[in-house]
Amino acid sequence: TTDTQTGETIDGFHLLIDALKLNGIENIYEVPGIPITDFTRLAQAAGMRLISFRHEQHAGNAAAAAGFLTQKPGICMTVSAPGFLNGLTALTNATTNCFPMILISGSSEREIVDLQQGDYEEMDQLAIAKPLCKAAYRVLHAQDIGVGIARAIRSAVSGRPGGVYLDLPAKLFSQTMDAAAGKKSLIKVVDAAPKQLPGPEAVQRALDLLKGAKRPLIILGKGAAYARADADIRTLVEKSGIPYLPMSMAKGLLPDTHAQSASATRSHVLAEADVVMLVGARLNWLLSHGKGKTWGGDKAADRKFIQIDISPIEMDSNVAIAAPLVGDIGSCVSALLAGMGSNWAKPPAEWTQGIAERKDKNISKMAETLALNPSPMNFHSALNVIRNQVKARPDAIVVNEGANTLDFARSIVDMYEPRKRLDVGTWGIMGIGMGFAIAAAVETGKPVIAIEGDSAFGFSGMEVETICRYNLPVCVIVFNNNGIYKGTDKNPLGTDMAPTQFVKGAKYEMMMQAFGGVGVQANTPAELEKALTEAIKSGKPTLINAIIDESAGTESGRITSLNPATAKKKT
Ligand code: FYN
Ligand code: ADP
Ligand code: MG
C-alpha cells in the first residue's frame, strides 16, 4: 500500500497505453487476435493510431520503416506463437538493418508453457526471440510495465539501433493495481539515444589521413541517413571536395545530381581510391567486404579506411580500419568539420576530373538508353517515367524491391532528399514492399511510389486491402514480366511451368480494384505516366500493372555472381 492510494485501479491494458503515449509513441502496426484484441480497441479509443494488417510480417516491416523514418522505435503488436513468429522475421530484419523497432507479442501463460502442458498457442517466445534481436524482455507484473517499455525504448534506439522483443503474457493485460501508484510507475525516458562523442585523437587521426589522401572517397550508408545530420554531412562533403558514393538508402542525402556524386562510376572509384571514409556504412557483402576485385585487387593492400560508426566492434570486422571514429554520426561529422578549419585543400584535380569525365560518359550513355521506346516496355523505359515523376515530386517516398526492378531503379531513379528511399536493405530481403509503403504514408503523409517486381510484390500483395482501408496515398507499380527474374524460363519436361514462372498476363491491377482502389494496366510509357501522375495528384490508392518484356532482366540482377550454378553445363 502507498499513501497515494485512492481506491481507483488501473489495469495492464491502460498502463501499456499510458506508457507508450507518455513516450511519444502514437502509431501501432498490428494484427488483432487473442490476447491483444481488446488492447487494439482501447488504444484506438485512447487516441492512438492503430494500423491493422493482414499478416504480421508486414506490420513488423512497417514498424521497422517507421523507426528508420522517425528515430522513434516503431511498434508492432502480434498475437502469440504463429503471430509472434511472423513478426519475428521483420524484427530480425530490422535488427540487421539497424532500424529501431519493438515487437510486442501477447503470449500464453508461463505456468503452462514452462511445464509444456499444451496451452493455446503455446511457445517460449522470449527464448526464441533472444538470439534474433538486440534485446528481449518479459513483463509479468502490471507495476513493471513502465520499466519494461522504458527498457525496450532505450534498447531499440541507443547505440546501434535495432529490434527489441517485449513479451506480455495474456494475464498481464487484465491485472490491476492502484491507479495512482500505476501512474507513478511509468517512466518517461530522458535522452533515449545519448550522443557519443569521438575522442579528439581519433578525430585528428582521421583528419591526418584525409589530408594526405591523393584519391579520397566518402561512402555514405543508411546509418548516415538515419542519423539526421543532413546539413553537416553535406557541408563535410562540399567543404572537403571529396567525391562520394551513396549506398542505396543513403541516396538523396545529397541530391543524386550533385557534382561530387560518383554513383555513375562506382566501380572505378572503389577500385582506385586510396583513402575511403565510411559514414554509417558497413563493409559487408554490399561493399564486397572491402577487398578483392571490386577494390582493385592488389591495390587493396595500400588503401586506408576511416570508419565513422556508433558501434566500436564494427571496426576491423572485414579489413583493418586505420582510423576508427566511434561515436554518433552527428557528433563525429561536426568534430571533423571543426578540425578541418577554413582552408582545407581540395583533392588533386587529376582524381576529381577523371571521375567527372567517366561519370559524364556513363550518364550520357544511360540517357541514350532511357530515350529508347521499345515495345513492350523494358525496365529502362518504364523507370524513366518514374525518374521524371520523382524529379517533379522530390518529397515523394520511393519503396523498391525485386531483383532487376531493384537494381535498375537504384541507378535510374535519382533521389533528391534524405530518407526518401526505402528498399530491401542489408539482407536483400523480398517482402518489405507494402509494409514499408504503408509506414511511409502513415508516418509522413507524403505520396509513396512502390516500385515492385512482380515476384517481390507477391510476398506482401494482400496488404493492398490495408492500403485501401486506410485510404493511403500509395501508388504501387508492379513491373510485370511474368516471372522471377524473367518469364521466359522453360520446364524441359513440359509438365508444370518452370519454377521461376508466373501466370502469364496476370491482372494485378484488379487486386487494387477489388478493395475500391484504382487499378490500371500500362503498356506504354505514356500510359504509365498518365496513371502515375493521376495517382500522385489524387492521393488515391493505386496499382499500376506495368507490362514489361518478359525476356527483359537477368538472373538475380546485378548479383548473379552470388548464385551457385551447377558444374554440369546447361544443354
Ligand atoms: C549508377 N550507374 C550509373 C548511374 N548510377 N550509370 C549511369 N548513370 C547513373 N545515374 C552505374 C554504376 O557506375 C555501376 O556501373 C552500375 O550503374 C550499377 O550501379 P550500382 O547499382 O550503384 O552498383 P552495383 O555494382 O550494382 O552495386 C553493388 C551492390 C548493389 C551490391 C551495392 O548491387 C546492391 O545494392 N544490391 C542489392 C541487391 C539485392 O539485395 N537484391 C535482392 C535480390 S533478390 P559500374 O561503375 O560500371 O560498375 C534475389 O535475387
Ligand atoms: P548501408 O547498407 O547503407 O551500407 P549499413 O546498414 O551497412 O548501411 O550500416 C549502417 C551503420 O550505421 C551501422 O554500422 C550502424 O551501427 C551505424 N549507425 C546507425 N546509426 C548511427 C548513428 N546515429 N551514428 C553512428 N553510426 C550509426
Ligand atoms: Mg519479374
User: Can you give 139-150 as a three-state secondary structure string?
Assistant: CCCHHHHHHHHH
Give yes or no for residue 314 CB within 6 A of ligand 2.
yes
Residues of the chain with pLDDT > 70: what percent? 98
Q: Measured between alpha carbons, how far is residue 94 from residues 22, 31, 98, 176, 557 in Å?
A: 24, 18, 6, 33, 24
- Are the C-beta atoms of 224 and 250 separated by less than 8 Å? yes
Residues of the chain with pLDDT under 70: 1-6, 569-571
From 68, 71, 98, 308, the mutation candidate for ligand 2 (largest count of ligand atoms within 8 A of CB) is 98
Helix, strand, coil percent values for the chain (each to nearest 5): 45, 15, 35
Count of other CB atoms within 10 angstroms of residue 485: 20
Question: How would you label 107-119 residue by residue, b for 16+ Cβ within 10 Å and e otherwise?
Answer: bbebeebeeeeeb
Q: Ligand 1: which residue has its CA nearest to atom 27?
A: 286
Give yes or no for residue 247 CB within 6 A of ligand 2.
yes
CA 407 – ligand 3 centroid, Å: 12
The tens digit of pLDDT for each residue in 415-456 reads: 999 999 999 999 999 999 999 999 999 999 999 999 999 999
- Are the C-beta atoms of 305 and 323 separated by less than 8 Å? yes
Question: Do β-strands 323-326 and 304-309 pair in parallel, antiparallel, or remain unpaired?
Answer: parallel
Cis peptide before 32 (omega within 30 of 0): no
Distance separating alpha carbons of residues 492 and 494, to the nearest angstrom: 5
From 70, 247, 310, the mutation candidate for ligand 2 (largest count of ligand atoms within 8 A of CB) is 310
Distance separating alpha carbons of residues 359 and 355, to the nearest angstrom: 6
Looking up cell 583528419 gives 207
The tens digit of pLDDT for each residue in 216-241 reads: 999 999 999 999 999 999 999 999 99
From 99, 318, 329, the mutation candidate for ligand 2 (largest count of ligand atoms within 8 A of CB) is 329
> Which string of DSSP letters, residue by residue, matches 290-309?
G-SGGGTGGGGGG-EEEEEE
Give yes or no for residue 264 CB within 6 A of ligand 1.
yes
Single-letter residue type at 309: D
pLDDT (0 to 100) of residue 566: 84
Looking up cell 534498447 gives 155
First and final C-alpha spacing in the chain: 81
CA 56 – ligand 2 centroid, Å: 26
Query: For residue 97, which atom of ligand 2 is closest to its CA?
Result: 6
The tens digit of pLDDT for each residue in 257-283 reads: 999 999 999 999 999 999 999 999 999
Distance separating alpha carbons of residues 480 and 483, to the nearest angstrom: 8
Looking up cell 484504382 gives 518
Query: E-assigned strands of 312-466?
Result: 323-326, 397-401, 421-423, 448-453
Q: What H or E segment, with its residue span, contains residue 336?
A: helix 329-340
Give yes or no for residue 52 CB within 6 A of ligand 1.
no
The answer, as to whether pTM is greater than 0.90, is yes
- Are the C-beta atoms of 203 and 325 separated by less than 8 Å? yes
Give yes or no for residue 388 CB within 6 A of ligand 1.
no
Name the DSSP class of 483.
B
Give yes or no for residue 59 CB within 6 A of ligand 2.
no
Q: Report which bound ligand comes closest to the CA of 327.
A: 2
